[in-house]
Amino acid sequence: MRTHGTHVSARTQVTQMLGSLPPLVRAGVLRTGGPRESAGLIGAVGRWGMSLAALVEMSATSFPHRTALIDDHGSLSYAELRDQARALARSLRTYSEPDGPDGADISSISVIARNSRGLVLPLIAAAYLGAEAKILNPGSSLTQLQDIADDYPSSVTFIDAEFTEVLEKLSTANKVTVAEWSGDAQAHAPGQPGQPASLESLVAAGRSEYRHVALPGRPAQRSTVIMSSGTRGVPKAVVLPVPRTPKVLGSILERIPFRSGDVIQLSVGLFHAWGWLNLHISMATGSTLLTRRWFDSETDIRDIVRHDVTGIVSAAVYLRQILAGVGEHVGAGVGGGVDVSGIRYIVSAGNAIPPELVVELNARFGDGTGVVHNFYGSTEHGQITLATAADLAADPTTAGRPGPGVRLAIIGDDGRPVAPGGTGVIYSSNSMTSLGFLSDKDSGDVVDGMLSTGDTGFIDDSGRLYVCGRADDMVIRGGENIHPRAIEEFLLTLPQIRDAFVIGHQGDLVATLDAYIVTDHEITDGELNDAVLAGVNRFCALDNIVRVETLPRNDSGKVVPRLLPDTPGTTR
């Protein structure tokens, strides 16, 4: 593994830990009960640390009958989720690995699955066993998935039934099971190397013939590997550290009003770092996580009403569709005919949220005081900044402030920090910044113990961060730095434009700007450029305007540039 060499001082971490205690108590992560409940909570942390296994055990102790997960296959209470994860772990212990590290039966578990218990159960089972969890992005190409599986083989690989091509081409040295929870996947007896078995059959075996198999007493908790989005190239295998205390959650819970017993609708991928983090938040607070394999705005709207959703965790592209869908329901009251007044928070992450969308969401959802929050971070960094509802109500263009324990700096071309208001590349680190990459071929840019985000931005005098866009997208025209994101945000304010993406190409002599637009209305290239020149500035003329039916986005809402049609002079 190639490490980054980032660091956060011990003093900063202590300050973060102390500051996290009040929000952890308010959110119900740190809770007290009777002697038996308290003993169960302490015992879970003592045995499994701050892993998913510990969080599920704690919530199953406090709220055994509370719904933990709702997916396309139904619902599971915390007691059911705990029992099924334990049973799966017992079955997996029969896949003996005598040479595994620290005597572990299973040293690593890979998962290629969409949002469902087919992803959640293996992750919890990995924590019970002390195995390294590798979460692969199902949005990757078949070749990428095969290469990753071959380069980083695991003891067991869970694969959704839809990825049978990957299943067929994986090395038979891997013990493979199909993660899809359905009767259409042929089940084989667990424990046969190289033979697929359904997740359902493994859970059943752990409750019957393997019910007496003991789980490890105090397994060492290992890192989690999550693939980067790969929007601009081959996904990187990012190694995330093991959380030792709940302080990292405290810095988020301080800004976003997650509370115990919430119903959280998650429409971004659990296989992304943002989704993975929210799985931990949901389990830690004893909340209900509501998620579907595929995003569908109508389904999400029905779920909001049917399940009394209190919080939405999503991305801007999905929030725009939910907002449009709510608006189509004719009727009186908040949200048209759909009552969305019970939504206490909406958290957007993954891709930039346009300012006008913030305003429209705040006007439509909640009690009118503002519910939209914005999380700025990445797979490699974890949390960088968080804009609260108050921050965005005051200025919907800000990315917010760094939380306790987060180092943040804007670095100029000379490699030194710039003064407030100065633009440069955003660097950051915290206790949950990735340790590094699995492959020695991948590396990060580190300055003073902080890792580059690859984004440009500036910090104002009050400490708020503003993100201008990707550093490699910026072009220079007429001596001006032109950020495609600003043009993109302007295009989205035009009534003729449903979706838009702008990318810059800086040549040795000439810089070009390409716009990809989704529109249902007639608007000429000339009219569009006239609007841009008047609404942004005179150096932002678009060189190529491409009309597409949809923009190719990944599960976190980011546009994948390599999947866009080429324009004249484009090289990818």
DSSP string, 130-164: TPEEEE--TTS-HHHHHHHHHHS--SEEEE-GGGH
Q: How many other CB atoms sit within 10 Å of the CB of residue 361?
A: 27
Q: How many other CB atoms sit within 10 Å of the CB of residue 521?
A: 9
Q: Which two tokens stand for residue 69?
A: 């997960």
| Domain endpoint, select from 240, 272, 294 | 240
Q: Assess whether 119 and 141 both reside in one domain.
A: yes
Q: Are 393 and 360 in contact (CB under 8 A)?
A: no
275 in a domain, yes or no? Answer: yes
Residue 151, pLDDT score:
78
Lowest model confidence (mean pLDDT) among 166-180, 250-264, 339-353, 409-423: 166-180
458 in a domain, yes or no? Answer: yes
Q: Is the pLDDT of residue 171 over 70?
A: no
Secondary structure E strands in 29-97: 67-71, 74-77
Residue 24, pLDDT score:
85
By 3-state DSSP, what share of the chain in percent is helix, strand and coil, each rounded to 5? 30, 25, 45
pLDDT tens-digit series, residues 109-138: 989 889 999 999 999 999 999 999 999 888
Q: What is the CATH number of the domain that holds 316?
A: 3.40.50.12780
Q: Is the pLDDT of residue 332 over 50?
A: no
36 in a domain, yes or no? Answer: no
CA-nearest of 269, 273, 181, 266 to 226 is 273
Residue 78, pLDDT score:
98
270 in a domain, yes or no? Answer: yes
272 in a domain, yes or no? Answer: yes
Q: Is the pLDDT of residue 426 over 90?
A: yes
Q: Which two tokens stand for residue 568?
A: 């004249």
| Domain endpoint, select from 240, 259, 293 | 240
488 in a domain, yes or no? Answer: yes
- pLDDT higher for 16 or 281? 281
Dist. CA 443–CA 420, nearest whole Å: 29
Q: Is the pLDDT of residue 331 over 80?
A: no
Lowest model confidence (mean pLDDT) among 115-129, 132-146, 345-359: 132-146
Integer CA distances (angstroms), 75 to 65, 116, 279, 290, 334, in order: 11, 10, 15, 9, 29
The total of structural domains in the chain comes to 3
Q: Is the CA virtual torsion 98, 100, 101, 103 positive or negative?
A: negative
- pLDDT higher for 80 or 187? 80
Q: What is the CATH number of the domain that holds 500?
A: 3.30.300.30
Q: What is the separation, in whole angstroms, between the first and last Cα of the chain?
A: 28
Q: How many other CB atoms sit within 10 Å of the CB of residue 537?
A: 15
Residue 160, pLDDT score:
83
Q: What is the CATH number of the domain that holds 87?
A: 3.40.50.980
Q: Assess whether 267 and 400 both reside in one domain.
A: yes
Residues 6+ apart with CB under 8 A from 141: none
CA-nearest of 73, 76, 502 to 282 is 76
Residue 190, pLDDT score:
47
Q: Assess whether 211 and 108 both reside in one domain.
A: yes
Secondary structure E strands in 393-528: 407-411, 424-429, 436-437, 446-447, 450-459, 465-470, 475-477, 480-482, 497-506, 511-519
| Domain endpoint, select from 216, 240, 264 | 240
Q: Assess whether 408 and 385 both reside in one domain.
A: yes
Q: Is 331 helix (H, G, I), strand (E, B) or coil?
A: coil
Q: Are 244 and 50 in contact (CB under 8 A)?
A: yes
Q: Is the pLDDT of residue 231 over 70?
A: no
Residue 185, pLDDT score:
35
Q: Is the pLDDT of residue 139 over 60?
A: yes
Strand order in the sheet with 372-378: 74-77, 67-71, 288-291, 263-266, 311-314, 345-348, 372-378, 382-387
Q: Which residues pair with 311 in a beta bridge?
A: 264, 345
Give Dmax over CA atoms of the chain in angstroms: 73
210 in a domain, yes or no? Answer: yes
Residue 232, pLDDT score:
60
For the chain, give the mean pLDDT. Answer: 85
Percent of the chain with pLDDT over 90: 49
Q: Assess whether 339 and 221 both reside in one domain.
A: no
In sequence order, which ranges of 218-377 are alpha helices (DSSP H)? 247-253, 273-284, 297-306, 316-328, 355-364
Dist. CA 94–CA 179, nearest whole Å: 18
Q: Assess whether 496 and 364 both reside in one domain.
A: no
2 in a domain, yes or no? Answer: no
Q: Are 251 and 20 in contact (CB under 8 A)?
A: yes
Q: Which two tokens stand for residue 384?
A: 């960088």
Instruction: For residue 486, give its domain range.
Output: 475-563
Q: Assess whether 353 and 286 both reside in one domain.
A: yes
Q: Assess whether 236 and 337 both reside in one domain.
A: no
pLDDT tens-digit series, residues 254-309: 999 999 999 999 999 998 889 999 999 999 999 999 999 999 999 999 999 999 99
Lowest model confidence (mean pLDDT) among 6-10, 195-199, 506-510: 6-10
Q: Which two tokens stand for residue 71?
A: 């997916």
Q: Assess whether 99 and 215 both reside in one domain.
A: yes
Q: Which two tokens stand for residue 95?
A: 């896949």
Q: Assess whether 309 and 200 both reside in one domain.
A: no
Residue 511, burial from CB neighbour count under 10 angstroms (0-12, 13-18, 19+): middle
Residue 510, burial from CB neighbour count under 10 angstroms (0-12, 13-18, 19+): exposed
Residue 542, pLDDT score:
94
Q: Is the pLDDT of residue 494 over 90?
A: yes
Q: Assess whether 291 and 217 both reside in one domain.
A: no
Residue 103, pLDDT score:
42
Q: Is the pLDDT of residue 20 over 80?
A: no
Q: Assess whether 236 and 295 both reside in one domain.
A: no
pLDDT tens-digit series, residues 506-546: 876 778 899 999 998 889 999 999 999 999 988 889 999 99
